[in-house]
Chains A and B, each alone.
Chain A
Amino acid sequence: MGENMTTGSQPKSDSTDSGCAATPPAANVTHMKILIIEDDLEAAAYLTKAFREVGIVADHASDGESGLFMGSENTYDVMVIDRMLPRRDGLSVIAELRRKAIHTPVLILSALGQVDDRVTGLRAGGDDYLPKPYAFSELLARVEVLGRRKGTPDQDVLYRVGDLELDRLSHEVRRAGKEIVLQPREFRLLEYLMKNAGQVVTRTMLLENVWDYHFDPQTNVIDVHVSRLRGKIERDFNNPLLKTIRGAGYMIKDDG
């Protein structure tokens, strides 16, 4: 059922894509090259095509062994690995890659119905985890964030987007030199958005990274918090930085 749902959810995401394609993030990642290890050929074909449409080159391997081979021989920015694979299961592929000192970020896809799959997956060396069924927009946003993470260890003390500044040490936020007072949680929300500036961040990703809950929030809780934050940082300015990406999530970016 999970598989069907995946394919079932994809056509809709397709339209989400076309929505996204017009927005900046797609143009942003043209240089990215990823590897998809997925035994469901239909899903893999769909993913390859969908990634290509947003400018991401995607190679495909249909079983664990060939995926491990391709992952070891070529250089990728991100690998998307299904957990259940023929010939070698996903977690063992990740473990083997890590043993070979290949530290490419890995996103695990899983249709397994266990509550603690995510923990197991991350313990095995995965960097992110997405349960099936998922929307393509969610997968894309996560792949982009993972792809950017690679090679740029996050040591910036100061995040800057346009005239908005966030100091991670002093916990101060300024816009055009004017201090903005935020609640601790709002600060973390903005910090996460700015850390991934120019990239789509989904509601689920926000709930995960700001509140540390790993499920689909289902309701508008995140939107309420984002809109409060938006109120605080955009109120007196006419150049909006925090944008809502329809059908996907949010993005902070300076278009000006």
Chain B
Amino acid sequence: MSRFRVLFKSTAVRLSALYILLFALCAATLVFYVTSMSERLLTGQIRDAVSQEVSQVKHAYEAGGLNLLLRTMERRARQPGANLYVIASPTGQILAGNVASVQPGTFDDQGWTEIPFIYERYADTGAERQHLAIANIFTLDNGLRILIGRDLGEPERFRLLVRQALMLALAIMGVGALVIWFGIGRNALRRIDRMTDASRKIMAGDLSQRLPVGGSGDEFDRMSDSLNTMLERIEKLNEGLRQVSDNIAHDLKTPLTRLRNKAVDALDIDNEERRRSALEGIIAESDQLIRTFNALLMISRVEAGAAAAEMTTINLSAIVADTAELYEPVAEDAGLVLTAEIEPGVEIQGNRELIGQALFNLIDNAIKYAAGGSGKPDVILKLSRTPEGVTLCLADHGAGVPADKREEVVKRFFRLDESRSKPGTGLGLSLVEAVMELHGGRLQLSDTDPESSEARGLTATMIFSPAGKA
């Protein structure tokens, strides 16, 4: 019962009810119009035929008197499907004709009967005695009344037929409507129920569920499709989030355990000096943890989107020059030579802080991984305008990143095995990539010197696409 109510409440059912009502009204109007028109046409034909006979009968009377009139009428009355012919006395008593009786008062008026009258035939038996007819009545100069008329059974039957057809049509429409109600309504409801089921499962936490797609490409499918795309994106983000929190848990457990062990050890140290240095070690360890957290927060802030960061026109040339100056001594201390080739006056829309930090991370990496290697000591920072957009590339001659690992090194906490021994959070490139994405650009990693066997080096290129400018 409640299901029926739900069905009745559905939009499809309401709409189809409305349409059926309108359609029925139109059909009824049309049928009414058609019947009345054809009835009028038929009546007109009957009147024409009767009028013709009247004039013929009058003509016979004028030519041959009463005798010829009687003969003419008798002849005509015998024909099959004949009209009604009556000769009555001035008082209305039937003297001759093919009619047994007429409605009293029919002969009172001359000319066309105003409304159809009732008459009986000689052959009539039982219930079907009374018939309707219209007639023309005229009086001869001797006072006899002549009635020539026609039975209305034919147009009456026609009207009946049309009315029956109409009733049948309406009945079919009604049944059809019910079928459509159930068909469309139940189909829609069933699909919505399936969607509801799927979304319940999703709400319960199973993000791998998808809404059913029928394959017909209708509006339900289109909606399911776009919702599914959304779910896919959510699932991917969720997966990323889960992976990150797993990694965080894993990557933070190790230093936390180490921290705890150091603290426990520090408790047992009696020597003031050594105890102090142990505590300092603990502080350094904690600072590294804070750094990791800050870097993580920073990445998620950047990923949170453009709305969060203020974009202004910034002079990239100046930023790169500043950074090069800042890092030049650091590189030198690491036995490297940082050289900057900067095209002057390059401006982009961006956030100085974020681009600065991304650049810091790249240079940090280059210095960290190229230092003490067998490759050339050059680290080259180059800012230029290219057809692709503004590109900022940093090339080192360190060990490089194997081509198959390039997608992974930008993931949070991913570190190449060789680099695990070096300090770092494993978040540097993730931030660079997030920053580039925020600026509508991208980070591209390639070999600096593909020919070299052990010091292929890494060239990290930040490409600010022209669309990202403005």
Q: Does B300 count as interface, using CB distance less than 8 angstroms?
A: yes
Q: Does B458 count as interface, using CB distance less than 8 angstroms?
A: no
Closest A residue to B319 by beta carbon equals A213
Closest A residue to B435 by beta carbon equals A115
Contact (A211, B286) CB under 8 Å given A115-B309, A246-B280, A247-B280: no
Q: Does A30 count as interface, using CB distance less than 8 angstroms?
A: no
CB contact between A113 and one of B282, B301, B327 (< 8 Å): that residue: B301
Per-residue contact bits, chain A 127-161, to B (CB 8 Å; 1 contact, 0 not)? 00001010100000000000000000000000000
User: For chain A residues 194-224, which have a beta carbon within 8 Å of chain B?
Assistant: 211, 213-221, 224
Q: Does A52 count as interface, using CB distance less than 8 angstroms?
A: no
Name the B residues within 8 Å of A221 (CB-CB). 326-327, 330, 360
Per-residue contact bits, chain B 271-307, to A (CB 8 Å; 1 contact, 0 not)? 0000010011011101100110111011011101000
Q: Does B308 count as interface, using CB distance less than 8 angstroms?
A: yes
Residues A228 and B329 in contact, CB atoms below 8 Å apart: yes
A223 to B297 CA separation, bound complex (whole angstroms): 25
A228 to B279 CA separation, bound complex (whole angstroms): 28
Output the least CB separation between B67 and chain A (Å): 122
Residues B286 and A12 in contact, CB atoms below 8 Å apart: yes
Name the B residues within 8 Å of A9 (CB-CB). 286, 290
Residues B283 and A113 in contact, CB atoms below 8 Å apart: no
Q: Does A114 count as interface, using CB distance less than 8 angstroms?
A: yes
CB contact between B290 and one of A1, A116, A135, A217 (< 8 Å): that residue: A135
Residues B290 and A15 in contact, CB atoms below 8 Å apart: no
Residues B304 and A113 in contact, CB atoms below 8 Å apart: yes
Tell me the interface secondary structure of chain B in the complex: helix
Q: Does A5 count as interface, using CB distance less than 8 angstroms?
A: yes
Closest A residue to B423 by beta carbon equals A219
Output the least CB separation between B96 and chain A (Å): 114
Output the least CB separation between B351 and chain A (Å): 7
Closest B residue to A210 by beta carbon equals B326
Residues B286 and A116 in contact, CB atoms below 8 Å apart: no
Per-residue contact bits, chain B 341-361, to A (CB 8 Å; 1 contact, 0 not)? 000000000010110110010
Name the B residues within 8 Å of A224 (CB-CB). 329-330, 333
A228 to B332 CA separation, bound complex (whole angstroms): 11
Name the B residues within 8 Å of A15 (CB-CB). 279, 282-283
Residues B290 and A114 in contact, CB atoms below 8 Å apart: no
Most chain A beta-carbon contacts within 10 A, residue among B276, B284, B297: B297
A228 to B327 CA separation, bound complex (whole angstroms): 12
Name the A residues within 8 Å of B351 (CB-CB). 115
Q: Does B109 count as interface, using CB distance less than 8 angstroms?
A: no
Residues A114 and B301 in contact, CB atoms below 8 Å apart: yes
Residues B304 and A225 in contact, CB atoms below 8 Å apart: no
Per-residue contact bits, chain B 314-332, to A (CB 8 Å; 1 contact, 0 not)? 0000000010011101100
Name the B residues within 8 Å of A246 (CB-CB). 280
Name the B residues within 8 Å of A218 (CB-CB). 291, 295, 360, 364, 425
Q: Does B310 count as interface, using CB distance less than 8 angstroms?
A: yes
Q: Does A98 count as interface, using CB distance less than 8 angstroms?
A: no
Residues A216 and B293 in contact, CB atoms below 8 Å apart: no
CB contact between A16 and one of B283, B309, B327 (< 8 Å): that residue: B283
Name the B residues within 8 Å of A12 (CB-CB). 282-283, 286-287
Q: Does A171 count as interface, using CB distance less than 8 angstroms?
A: no
Name the B residues within 8 Å of A219 (CB-CB). 330, 360, 364
Q: Does A185 count as interface, using CB distance less than 8 angstroms?
A: yes
Q: Does A181 count as interface, using CB distance less than 8 angstroms?
A: no
Residues of A within 8 A of B (CB): 1-2, 5, 9, 12-13, 15-16, 19, 113-116, 119, 131, 133, 135, 185, 211, 213-221, 224-225, 228, 246-247
Residues of B within 8 A of A (CB): 276, 279-280, 282-284, 286-287, 290-291, 293-295, 297-298, 300-302, 304, 308-310, 322, 325-327, 329-330, 333, 351, 353-354, 356-357, 360, 364, 425
A-B contact list, 26 entries, CB within 8 Å = A5-B293, A12-B283, A16-B283, A19-B276, A19-B279, A19-B280, A113-B300, A113-B301, A113-B308, A115-B302, A133-B290, A133-B293, A133-B294, A213-B353, A213-B360, A216-B291, A218-B291, A218-B295, A218-B360, A218-B364, A218-B425, A220-B330, A221-B326, A221-B327, A224-B330, A247-B283
